[in-house]
Amino acid sequence: MTYLALVAFAAIFASLGAALYFMLKGGGKTEDEQAAKSGRMAKALAFRIGFSVVLFICILVGWKLGYLHPTGISAGQ
């Protein structure tokens, strides 16, 4: 489960980096080129959101199946 979480975090950061690259990359001179750049950035951000949702669901399923256990400060103090 730890490896799955690490892969998901890597995918999230990679898609965020791709969106940053498309945002900072020199824009086209025509409207079609600018729309294509904007579409690639939106697609990269959509993938990031999808990876985040999948990671969250995997954490919940892992907790429910007993693979993950909460740790930290107890509520009884």
For residue 15, count other CB atoms closer than 10 A to its CB: 20
For the chain, the structural domain boundaries read: 2-65
Radius of gyration of the chain (CA): 18
Asked if 58 contacts 5 with a C-beta cutoff of 8 angstroms, the reply is yes
Query: In angstroms, rounded to a whole number, what is the distance separating the alpha carbons of residues 52 and 45?
Result: 11
Please state, in angstroms and as integers, the Cα–Cα distance from residue 50 to each residue in 3, 12, 47, 65, following that order: 18, 9, 5, 22
Query: pLDDT tens, 38-75?
Result: 788 888 888 888 888 988 888 888 889 988 787 777 66
**DSSP 8-state code for residue 23:** H
Query: pLDDT tens, 9-35?
Result: 898 899 888 888 887 876 666 777 777
